Amino acid sequence: MACVALVGRPNVGKSSLFNRIVGRGVAIVEPTPGVTRDPLEAEAEWAGHTFTLLDTGGLVAPEGDPFAPLIARAAAARLRDADLAVMVVDGQVGLLPADDDIARLLRRWSGRVVLAVNKCESYRAVPYEFYSLGLGEPMPCSAIHGDGMGDLLDAVVAALGDSSTPIGEESPAPDEPVEAAFPVPSGPIRVALVGRPNAGKSSLVNRLIGRERLIVSEMPGTTRDAIDVPWTHGDDRFVLVDTPGMRRPARITAELERSSIARALRAIARADVAVLVLDAQEGVTDQDQRIAGYAFERGRAAVILLNKWDLVATEGDPAKRQQAEIRAALPFLAYAPILLTSARTGRGVDRIPTAIAEVATAHRQRMGTAEVNRVLREATSLHAPPSHRGKALRLYYATQVATAPPTLLCFVNDAAGVRPDYTHYLENRLRAAFSLDGTPLRLHFRTRARQVRTIRRASGGPRLRT
């Protein structure tokens, strides 16, 4: 699929243009320069053709922003992967020296270029000064109001030529799946890497994919957007989502940080697997517990990474001790595997893809009804359900009603009599019988109404109620 990169100096409206073209608010939009740091990408469609759209940070490094050189370097690296660049300039501010610098870079670039003059809300005439950039005819548009977007996208598709992919020709249709009673998730495994600031999430993504895709800095709060990074490992396809670090709500004052955290929470809700990245030097904090609790409430499969393990002292048995502390602090994630990793040295990173694939498979698992009921019958025979209001609890049968996470509906004679400890007992028995490591298991109980049948005697006598 063809790749189109939005480039330009900071604060010309690249993120607004990106959101307008892809049709949803993927990128954070703020009037402050330098908001976009890591390049974002999403699939876009126009006139029956699809292409990958990149939103990059500023290609020039303004003074005063410590991240500016890193942002410019990341934007330049992504530009090298693109087939076409859309240079975005500000039609209200006019031509600046930084625009000339970027245009000079693009004229030496081997790809094709379209010049977009953004913020032309009140007029369509382009100032003549933009013709001096030597990048062809400037295309006036307004990302905020949508003016001129059709002409701009027509120019993009025309410049791409045969590089764009006609809709319906992306790939052959897969075989029809076996019909199921409920939908079974399919496609790439969405993996949200979550945790507090500076835990090493971006470094882990870069180590996994084998290149510097994301900006890494020792300064907390480097990542602001939730960045999707498609990745294939062996036969498994993933979308790694690097999320902004989440601080305690009481410490958040800036609206930009609130917007970043909202995107991180949405990334968890959309993911198949939440990878909780902990700092091995600090252990589990209250904020880590909150983040893990959010992933559990959303029913996400989970893997716990104890990162920066190379910085932990080796006296005694620190691995055993820290794992015990994690289990004690996160009892609701007792099913999640714990891996000791170091993004800096690569230790333990090779085990991450396998762990993610295994917990994702468990998260999407379908359990046979007959086998589920056999396990539950054995469980109730070994440990009878407790009575409720003098009446013994009876478990009739159970059936799986959903995946992601696996969810069972259990029919009993009185749902009010099912105690949490007995539910936990049944869950453990099911986990012992099925491969459910890394995924929550939901058990819902419903009272089955007592069936009353009326039988008329053959002799015409009185009817009997059974």
In tens, the pLDDT along 377-420 reads 999 999 998 888 878 889 999 999 999 999 999 999 999 889 99
Does one domain contain both 356 and 379?
no
pLDDT value, residue 60: 66
Task: Give the pLDDT score at 67.
Answer: 62
Q: What angle do CA 262, 268, 271 make, to 5 degrees?
A: 140
- The per-residue pLDDT for 422 is 95
Instruction: Identify whether 53 is part of a domain.
Output: yes
Q: What CATH number does the domain containing 57 carry?
A: 3.40.50.300
**Could you tell me the pLDDT band of residue 309, with boundaries at 50, 70 and 90?**
very high
Whether 264 is in a domain gets the answer: yes
Q: CA 439 to CA 461: how far, in whole Å?
A: 58
Contacts of 376 by beta carbon, 8 Å cutoff, 6+ apart: 395, 398, 410, 426, 429, 430
**Residues 357 and 377 reside in one and the same domain:** no
Q: Is 10 part of any domain?
A: yes
- Please name the residue that has the structure tokens 């009892």: 331
Q: Element (H or E) spanning 10, and its range?
A: none
pLDDT digits (tens, 9 = 90+) for 133-191: 999 889 999 998 888 999 999 999 999 886 666 555 544 444 433 344 565 566 899 99
The Cα 292–Cα 440 span in angstroms is 12
For residue 42, what pLDDT is reported? 85
Total domains in the fold of the chain = 3
Mean pLDDT of 424-449: 94
Cα 255 to chain centroid, rounded: 22
- Looking at the structure, do residues 19 and 156 belong to the same domain, yes or no? yes
Q: Which pLDDT does position 74 carry in this prediction?
A: 76
**For strand 395-402 and strand 464-465, is the pairing parallel, antiparallel, or unpaired?**
unpaired
Asked if 84 and 112 touch (Cβ cutoff 8 Å), the reply is yes
Helix ranges (H only) for 181-285 are 201-209, 255-270
Q: How confident is the model at residue 127 (pLDDT cuts 50, 70, 90)?
A: confident
CB 58 within 8 A of CB 184: no
* CB-based contact 341:347 (threshold 8 Å): yes
Q: What is the amino acid identity at position 34?
A: G
Residue 66 neighbours by CB under 8 Å, 6+ apart: 219
| Cα angle value 15/190/343 (rounded, 5°) | 85
For the entire predicted model, the pTM comes to 0.71
Residue 265 has pLDDT above 60, yes or no: yes
Q: HSE-up of 393 (CA within 13 Å, CB side)?
A: 24
Look-up: residue for tokens 């989970």?
A: 302
Percentage of the chain lying above the pLDDT 70 cut = 79
Does residue 460 sit within a domain? no
Residue 193 — pLDDT band, cuts 50, 70, 90? very high
Q: Does 206 share its domain with 157?
A: no
pLDDT band for 32, please (50, 70, 90 cuts): low
Q: State the burial class of residue 324 (Cβ atoms within 10 Å of its Cβ: 0-12, 13-18, 19+).
A: exposed
Q: In which domain, by residue range, is 234 found?
A: 189-363
Average pLDDT, the chain: 84
pLDDT recorded at residue 174: 42
What average pLDDT does this structure show over 46-63? 79
Q: Are residues 114 and 21 in the same domain?
A: yes
**Rg over CA atoms, the chain:** 28
Same domain membership, residue 36 and residue 14 = yes
Residue 405, preceding bond cis, omega within 30 degrees? yes
Residues 91-104 have pLDDT tens digits of: 888 899 989 988 99
Regarding whether 356 and 387 lie in a shared domain, the answer is: no
Whether the per-residue pLDDT at 437 is higher than 70: the answer is yes
138: in domain: yes
Alpha carbon 80 to chain centroid, angstroms: 26
Residue 314 has pLDDT above 60, yes or no: yes
- Domain C-terminal end among 135, 166, 197: 166
> Do residues 137 and 151 lie in contact, with contact meaning Cβ atoms separated by under 8 Å?
no
Higher pLDDT, 142 or 213: 142
pLDDT for residue 395: 92
